[in-house]
Amino acid sequence: IYKYLYNQMIKIKMRKILFAALLAIGFSACDKNESPVIEIHELGYENTSTVVQGSDLHIDAEILAEHKISTIRLTIYPEGEHASIVQATDEAHAWEVDSVYSIKYAGLKNTDFHEHIEVPDTAPAGFYHLHIIVTDMDGNQTAEEAEIEVLIAK
């Protein structure tokens, strides 16, 4: 009888261990991050998050999308109090960017997003908000944001 009870106890322990292992595997599968990952490596002149009027803004970011990139959207717009100052000035001189990259990077699983954005001479100096928004082929979306400063040309 002891041998029988011992075997039953072993079976119960094995079932508990198997159940716990299956449960752990199930939870870890649900925790998998399927959204794209964006890591900005360089932004602005010598990676200072600054750009001078009339030059170009250097952007370099590593993007990983398990379900392949569909689009990358880049937006830049005036920030905070500076936004109202820009709106109060001549609208022709306001500077904003809203660009969608749907061909160059589409279908890639990982890429180095490397772009140079022209900043006009007339762009008002001050702080701007930058967003890089990546959407993958399954519709998952991730955004990374940063602040840049436009400096007056000397």
The DSSP secondary structure of 114-141, one letter per residue, reads EEEEE--TTSPSEEEEEEEEEEETTS-E
Q: What is the pLDDT of residues 67-82, one digit of tens each?
A: 999 999 999 999 875 4
**Average pLDDT over the chain, rounded to an integer:** 84
| 81 burial level (CB within 10 Å; 0-12, 13-18, 19+) | exposed
Q: Is the pLDDT of residue 131 over 50?
A: yes
Residue in 151, 88, 84 with CA at minimum distance from that of residue 123 = 151
Residue in 76, 64, 75 with CA at minimum distance from that of residue 142 = 64
Alpha carbon distances (Å) from 90 to 86, 95, 135:
8, 11, 34
Is the pTM for the entire model greater than 0.85?
no
Q: What is the pLDDT of residues 22-40, one digit of tens each?
A: 666 655 554 456 899 999 9
